[in-house]
Amino acid sequence: MDALKKRWSPLAFSSRPVERELLQQLFEAARWAPSSFNEQPWRFVYACRDDEAYLTFLDCLVPANRIWAKHAPVLMLTVAKTFYDYKNNENPFALYEAGMAMGNLLAQATEMGLVVHQMGGYSKKMAVEKLGIPEGFEPVAMAAIGYYGDPEKLPEGLREREQQVRTRLAVDAISSQNVFGK
C-alpha cells in the first residue's frame, strides 16, 4: 500500500488546524485494529492547539521535542489498558495491540494527507498526573498530528535531519525462516 511507503515522521508542521471530522476518521481507523478477546485496549487522549490542555501536553514532552512539536496543531497520547475486562487478568499484549491501533491510525493519516510524528521523549509520570490517566492504564507514546509544514522554518540542526534521505533495513535483515537471524 502506498500509504505505508509514504508514511514518515516529519518535524515540520503547518499551523493549519486539523478538521475535527478528520481526527474522528483517524480514531475510527484505530478502532478497527485487532485485539485479543476484542478488548480494544487502546485509548487516545488529545488536545488541539486552541484547547487549554494543549500546553499541558506540550509540557509533558522533553525539551528537544517541544522545539518542533509546539507547531503541530494536535498533540496526542496513546494509552494502553493493561488488564482484561475478562476475569480482570493482566493483558500482556496491551502495548502490542495499542501499537497495532496506532499503525491503523498512521496509515489512515497518510492516506488523508496528514502527518504524524510519534515520540517516546516525554514524561510518563507527568502525563499520568496531568492528563488524569487512571491506574490500570499505561502511557505508551505521544504524537504530533497535522499537515506537513515548511522545513525551512525549523532550526538548522532539525532542518538537516528533516531533509535526510529516509532509509529502511532490507527485508532479509528483519525476517528469517525457521531460525532467528538465519
Mean pLDDT of 71-93: 95
Residue 101 has what pLDDT?
Answer: 98
- At 5, is the secondary structure helix, strand, or coil? helix
Number of C-beta neighbours around residue 68 at 10 A: 22
Question: C-alpha grid cell for residue 5?
Answer: 511507503
Question: For cell 499541558, what's the residue?
Answer: 56
Residue 67 has what pLDDT?
Answer: 94
pLDDT digits (tens, 9 = 90+) for 100-111: 999 999 999 999
pLDDT digits (tens, 9 = 90+) for 134-143: 999 999 999 9
**Residue 154 clears pLDDT 90, i.e. is over it:** no
Residue 41 has what pLDDT?
Answer: 97
Strand partners, 46: 76
In what side-by-side order are the strands of the sheet with 42-48? Answer: 42-48, 74-81, 137-146, 115-119
Distance (Å, whole) CA 68 – CA 154: 7
Distance (Å, whole) CA 60 – CA 106: 22
Distance (Å, whole) CA 117 – CA 55: 18
Residue 149: name the closest of 26, 19, 16, 51 by CA. Answer: 16
Instruction: Give the helix/strand (H/E) hosting 141.
Output: strand 137-146
**Residue 182 clears pLDDT 80, i.e. is over it:** no
The share of the chain scoring above pLDDT 90, in percent, equals: 77
Residue 147: name the closest of 32, 18, 37 by CA. Answer: 18
Mean pLDDT of 139-167: 91
Residue 133 has what pLDDT?
Answer: 98
pLDDT digits (tens, 9 = 90+) for 5-60: 788 788 999 999 999 999 999 999 999 999 999 999 999 999 999 999 999 999 99
Give this prediction's pTM: 0.93
For residue 129, what pLDDT band results from cuts at 50, 70 and 90? very high
Q: Is domain 2-163 given the CATH code 3.40.50.1100 in the classification?
A: no
Q: CA distances (Å), 15 to each of 54, 71, 82, 137, in order?
A: 14, 6, 35, 31
